[in-house]
Structure 1
Amino acid sequence: MKKAIAIALAIMLIATSLVGCNSKTPGTDSGKDTGKDTGKSKGYEIALITDKGNIDDKSFNQGSWEGVVEFAEKENISHTYIKPEEASDAGYLAAIDLAVQGGAKVIVTPGFLFEVPVHEAQTKYPEVKFILLDGAPHEADSFDPDIKENVASILYAEEQSGYLAGYAAVKDGMTHLGFMGGMAVPAVQAFGYGYLQGAEDAAEELGLEDGAIKAIYHYTGDFEENDTNKSTAKAMYQEGAEVIFGCGGAVGKSVMSAASEANAKFIGVDVDQRYDSETTITSATKGLAASVISVLEAIYKTESWADFGGKSTVFDAKNDGVGLPTTVIGDEKADAFDRFKSFDKAQYEELFGRLKGGEIEVKRSIEVKDPSGNATADELTSQLDLKKVTVTTR
């Protein structure tokens, strides 16, 4: 009886969320948001399941959802998002179950936390197409990818985006950098490794002495906005950091707050965070919305699902899947590089062209002994070939 009541309450909660979110209400034949059920409920066709964060996290969930909304509204397709009851494999699977019960034919899952749940769901629901961002399905006790034909595994070259950010910061004259990652998972690690390599190459081009660039490197162990993370960022700024690359979802909000108080700079991640704080000089972005739209177009418009289904597809500089923002939303004449002192769009485009053409190679991973994934200063220095950059970990 308790289990039945719990299930009923869960379904009622999701039904409520469908009316409250900015998506098309299930049951509207037109697919437009009427704000009420017409009595001809047919459910929603595209559903996004959020991870630990919220739909307005200024990061992965939001960027992915924006892609769903842009495509679905243009094509007049019903859509919604669901926030799981709990951030666990069981919680994510329960949310997927509810999405399918609601009629979802396509389910978007943003983040590596969905790798194990999607591995189970891909077999349980072979008629449903899954778009798994930033990961590949695998069993709980194995990291070997097992991607069925109904799953599109989308990956990003985070190391390239991080490289561009680190290079830009040093080219702009900054010599004391900070990095605050969330958990030391592959995507976050790649951002950080690229950041250090970009700083190293820029320092080399500028002819700086060995050790001229100082970098404080830290993983928070979470993806949260909290006082602890703000205090850590505040301490890094007090120790001389001119800019901190906040790479951990809502962790960035803590860094922004500390940057404002310290009159310092911040580098965003995943999506353009320029609009969230005057301290944001740029953001190491992934084409989250663009990649979601690309796969949805393959499903609904070009009938080319085979280009994505059953395999991993990497979005990188070659297909404009990563980069720094080059435009300001709502103002075509604005300069997206106006928060730098000297680094400009022309320099960026020249650098991006070299990265896109394969002239620049960026390491994505290194050998880390600690099971947590937290690299030591020696591991970072030796394996990333750092000479101009001196790293301190905390």
Structure 2
Amino acid sequence: MAKKMLCLVLALAMTLTFVACGGSASSAPAASSKPASSEAGSTATEGAEIAMITDKGDINDKSFNQGTWEGVKAYADANGKTCQYYKPADATNDEYVNSIEQAIQNGAKVVVTPGFLFEVPIYTVQEKYPDVSFILIDGNPHNDDYSDFKTADNTVGITFSEEQVGYLAGYAAVKDGNTKLGFLGGQPVPAVVRYGYGFVQGADAAAKEMGVDIEMMYTNTDGFAATPEAQAMAASWYKNGTTIIFACGGSVGNSVMAAAEAEGGKVIGVDVDQSSESATVVSSAMKGLAAAVQQMLEKYYANEFPGGQNLNLGAAENALGLPMETSKFEKFTAEDYKALFESLASGKVTLQKDTDAESADKLKTEKCKVTVVAL
């Protein structure tokens, strides 16, 4: 059912207009001592029936939160529904639960939560509010000590095979002539790790085909914000010969792009097509966040909500890919991309995931030397 339901995810994602959310955030009555920010997505701020709770990043992160919110807002605007987002006071399970309950108290019937960090909060609330439906992106509900995994009948978990699109990006980068690469990721949550591991393996596969040796600098930050430290790290890599960096972590990408602009480097974006963010962006490792959310909302309002299921989407479901129409590759062609994508979709290529290695330098590579550094 997942394949039938979401076979157009990538096509929809590629055609969605990438714009910042309009309007300014307002303060809504909070369920905790600190107010959560909220924004109207359609016609009302109070009583919105579709709610989204932001992860650690900002709603305008040009990446994960924004991509998910755009799916919520696009559906609401097209179907005359009201929507609203809430920004928790802190990135803790308690504050996530507080924001979810605040949204429900304000009238939300569907709550969308983007990110692995919502797995425990959704586990906590899903059976407490059986009349509310929950869409959990990038995770499956479980309790705090991982001893119990349960996706209730009013919840659907959606994960993506980020290692596959990371592989596409790494392979393309090397085929395009880059031999010194970088991966600068956000907090190493499973999705970010899968992106990075795939990037390493794709680069290694291309290097083996070409008979060249390549090097990759690799690090993660402790969050998803743009920081002077991340920018300085990226700048040092460019100065030392790195030509392209996969910026994988929300607003962390802004730090990498700033460094690339100053040092003449190149960038691979993440989650959505980030080509409009900087002339340095060569391509983006995309997954169909907005389209997947819209599909789930369509199912909810058609009384076909796939509650109780955990869906994993990848190349076989056309749920991820590189936006070749806006990519700036010089040697890697559309024909190359099509053949590579089909090898993933068919299952011909199998990849190591986040659970298969303790760190990127422990991956089984032959031609890619990975140097993991601390930020």
Instruction: Classify 1:141/1:257 alpha carbon distance in 2 versus 1 (closer, same or farther; 3 Å).
Output: same
Residue 17 (structure 1) aligns with? 38
Instruction: Kindly state the Cα deviation for residue 201 of structure 1 after the two structures are TM-superposed.
Output: 1.2
Classify 1:193/1:341 alpha carbon distance in 2 versus 1 (closer, same or farther; 3 Å): same
> For residue 307 of structure 2, what is the aligned residue in structure 1?
309
Distance 1:142 1:248 in 2: 25
1:12-59 Cα offsets, whole Å, 9 max, x none, are 956x834xx4432157xxxxxxxxxxxxxxx11100011111111011
Aligned counterparts, 1:72-221, within 5 A: 72-142=76-146, 144-206=148-210, 208-209=211-212, 212-221=213-222
Ranked by relative contact order (alpha carbons within 8 Å, sequence separation 6 or more), the top structure is 2
Pair 167,8 (structure 1): closer, same or farther in 2 beyond 3 Å: closer
Q: Which amino acid aligns with 2:293?
A: V
* CA offsets 1:118-169 (integer angstroms, 9 cap, x no match): 1111021111000000011111122642111111000000000100000000
TM-aligned CA distance change 1:294 to 1:11, over 3 Å:
farther
Report the 3-state secondary structure (helix = DSSP H, G, I; strand = E; otherwise coil) of the residue aligned with 1:274.
coil
Please report how far the alpha carbon of residue 342 of structure 1 lies from its aligned counterpart in structure 2 after TM superposition. 1.4
Name the SS for the 2:59 alignment partner: coil
How big is the shift at 1:264?
Answer: 0.5
1:71 is paired with a residue whose SS is helix
Paired letter, 2:38 = S
TM-score (norm 1): 0.84
CA distance in 2, matches of 1:66, 1:8: 24
The partner residue of 1:356 within 325, 345, 348 is 345
**Contact preservation (8 Å) 1:291, 1:315:** no
Gaps of 5+ in 1: 1-5, 28-42, 328-335, 370-374
**Equivalent position amino acid for 1:346 in 2:** E
Q: 1:11–1:98: 8 Å Cα contact kept in structure 2?
A: no
Structure 2 distance, partners of 1:153, 1:178, is 31
Aligned partner letter, 1:17: S
| Matching of residues 202-281 of structure 1 within 5 Å | 202-206=206-210, 208-209=211-212, 212-281=213-282
Total equivalences in the alignment: 346
Separation of aligned partners in 2, 1:325 and 1:119: 35
Q: Which residue of 2 aligns with 1:390?
A: 369
Structure 1 segments, 4+ long, off by >2 Å, are 6-14, 21-24, 365-369
Q: CA deviation at 1:344?
A: 2.2
What is the letter of the counterpart of residue 354 of structure 2? Answer: S
Cα distance in 2 for residues equivalent to 1:362 and 1:177: 20
Aligned to 2:17: none
Partner Cα separation in structure 2 for residue 7 and residue 277 of structure 1 = 37
| SS in structure 1 at match of 2:146 | coil
Q: Retained in 1: the 8 A contact 2:31–2:101?
A: no
State whether residues 130 and 150 of structure 1, in contact with CA within 8 Å, keep that contact through their aligned partners in structure 2: yes
1:255-308: CA deviations, max 9, x gaps?
Answer: 11111111110011111111101100011111100110111111113x321xx3
C-alpha change, 1:143 and 1:162, in structure 2 (3 Å) is: farther
Distance 1:238 1:203, change over 3 A: same
251 and 293 in structure 1: CA distance in 2 versus 1, 3 angstrom threshold: same
Matched-pair contact (CA < 8 Å) for 1:287–1:315 = no
Task: Check 1:143–1:286 CA distance in 2 against 1; reply closer, same or farther (3 A cut).
Answer: farther
The answer to which of 214-223 and 151-160 deviates more is: 214-223
**Counterparts of 1:360 and 1:143 in 2: how far apart (Å)?**
32
Separation in structure 2 between the aligned mates of residue 217 and residue 354 of structure 1, nearest angstrom: 26
Correspondence 1:59 to 2:63? yes
* Pairwise CA distance, 1:326: 3.3
Distance 1:260 1:184 in 2: 25
